[in-house]
Amino acid sequence: MLNALRVLPPDGTHTILISFTPEAGRVFHEVLQINSGTSVLHVTVMGEGVNPIINLDMPTENGVFDIGAVLAGEYLERTFKMQNSSSLSIDYSIKLESLSLLRHAKSQELPSFIKPDEKMKSLVGTQNNNGQNIFDLVPSEGRIAPGATQEVTVTFAPDHPSDHYSDFVKIELFGKKESHSFQIKGMAKKNVMFVHGVDETTVNVESLSENPPSTLEEEELKGILPSVLFSVKSIAKESEFVPGSREIYVGCVRTMAVSQKKEVKGKNGEFQFENVQAITSKGFNIDPQRGMVEAGNLKPVTVTWSPPPGHDPNEPVEASIILTLKGDITEQVKVMLRAYVVSDVEDKTEKTESTENTQT
């Protein structure tokens, strides 16, 4: 009851204000007892609590919303929908972990590359050097009518190349109840064509300081190809080796830059693996060896390894192959292949650890 009772004159009336704030989605009832000098009035007050329910319509995998790849300095937009499945209007607000006042306190932990067994990992990754926010979600707050749907636009605008842009999103209802949460990721590339799905060879934590200029001459730099590492494993079972297989992805960014030539803008990319014969003798096989990638997509390429006759399972096999990428420019990437044999027990253990890390 929000207001106080008062003396009523003959034939007088008084309005009683009653508030109802349920903490669960069920029916509540209570007896309100009003006493006077000569009688007692009992009033049964009933109310129904309704759980606010928001359903998200968005492409996620293991709780991650992958924006995709964009050229550094450009921006990329994706959308998702929020549907109000309850019978009351819902006030919502979308909050980014990178803008949280507690972000600094939460980041005072050893990074994952120092403590690889640490389960609690930071969900906020690389940020822009210019101080502007990486991701922007609009509208970030509002009200959704019963049964209505609200479309949210996510803008990804990185200012330098990195594969580790990420942030953590929380959707709160009525300013306090957390309804949904998910991680959002994106990649920024220097060129239109790129390779994805290779082994991590650098840490996923970047410094905001600029890299010192290279001391090598320009001619020397031209002779050094960028390189990536790609590992494949074969499983040893009793009297045979099960061939190892894994996919590497060749991607093509859909550029929006007005500075790009018309024939490049939105153009498909091409790729080709050179000197394939050099790795065939070591048990490697690549399929397809050449192809085209549509702008904005990833093309899977399957790398298979079968231990060659007489192979020592205790020794890894190493080889390299040149991958030529044709997009806004033509460049070559050295793909270093590394293959090894593991036991069936080791393979099951690795899969279990990988699943636990993904769920974390």
Measured distance CA(168)–CA(183) in Å, rounded: 4
DSSP label at 145? -
User: At which residue do the structure tokens 């949904």 appear?
Assistant: 180
Measured distance CA(78)–CA(68) in Å, rounded: 9
3-state secondary structure of 238: coil
Identity at 66, one-letter amino acid code: D
pLDDT recorded at residue 264:
45
Residue 87 vs residue 120, higher pLDDT:
87
**In this predicted structure, which of 20-29, 290-299, 308-317 has the lowest mean pLDDT?**
20-29
pLDDT recorded at residue 238:
76
H or E element, residue 354: helix 344-359
**Overall average pLDDT of the 100-120 stretch:** 61
Asked if residue 50 has pLDDT above 90, the reply is no
**In this predicted structure, which of 85-89, 230-234, 346-350 has the lowest mean pLDDT?**
346-350
The β-bridge partners of 189 are: 71
Which CATH fold topology does 54-190 show?
A: Immunoglobulin-like (2.60.40)
Shortest CA distance to 73 belongs to which of 153, 130, 154, 136? 130
Q: List for the chain the helix, strand, coil content (%; round to 5).
A: 10, 45, 45
pLDDT recorded at residue 109:
64
Asked if residue 53 has pLDDT above 90, the reply is no
* Domain ranges for the chain: 1-49, 54-190, 196-201+225-346
Asked if residue 356 has pLDDT above 70, the reply is no
What would be the CATH architecture of the domain defined by 196-201+225-346?
Answer: Sandwich (2.60)
pTM of the prediction? 0.75
**Overall average pLDDT of the 12-30 stretch:** 84
pLDDT recorded at residue 327:
87
pLDDT recorded at residue 259:
44
213: left (phi over 0), alpha (psi -120 to 50) or beta: beta
pLDDT digits (tens, 9 = 90+) for 68-77: 999 999 999 9
pLDDT recorded at residue 116:
57
DSSP label at 226? P
Sign of the dihedral defined by the CA atoms of residues 202, 206, 207, 209, in that order: positive
325, 333 contact by CB (below 8 A) = yes
Measured distance CA(34)–CA(73) in Å, rounded: 69
How much of the chain exceeds pLDDT 90, in percent? 44
pLDDT digits (tens, 9 = 90+) for 137-174: 999 999 999 999 999 999 999 999 999 999 999 999 98
3-state secondary structure of 87: coil
pLDDT recorded at residue 294:
92
Domain 54-190 shares a fold with domain 196-201+225-346? yes
Average pLDDT, the chain: 83
Indicate the pLDDT class of residue 263, thresholds 50, 70 and 90. very low
pLDDT digits (tens, 9 = 90+) for 213-223: 655 555 555 56
Measured distance CA(357)–CA(360) in Å, rounded: 5
3-state secondary structure of 307: coil
183, 63 contact by CB (below 8 A) = yes
61, 182 contact by CB (below 8 A) = no
For residue 2, give Cα distances in angstroms to 18, 48, 50, 150: 6, 19, 22, 35
Sign of the dihedral defined by the CA atoms of residues 90, 96, 99, 103, in that order: positive
pLDDT recorded at residue 267:
74
Q: Are strands 149-156 and 76-84 parallel, antiparallel or unpaired?
A: antiparallel
pLDDT recorded at residue 125:
86
Shortest CA distance to 123 belongs to which of 132, 134, 137? 134
pLDDT recorded at residue 119:
52
**Overall average pLDDT of the 292-320 stretch:** 91
Asked if residue 333 has pLDDT above 70, the reply is yes
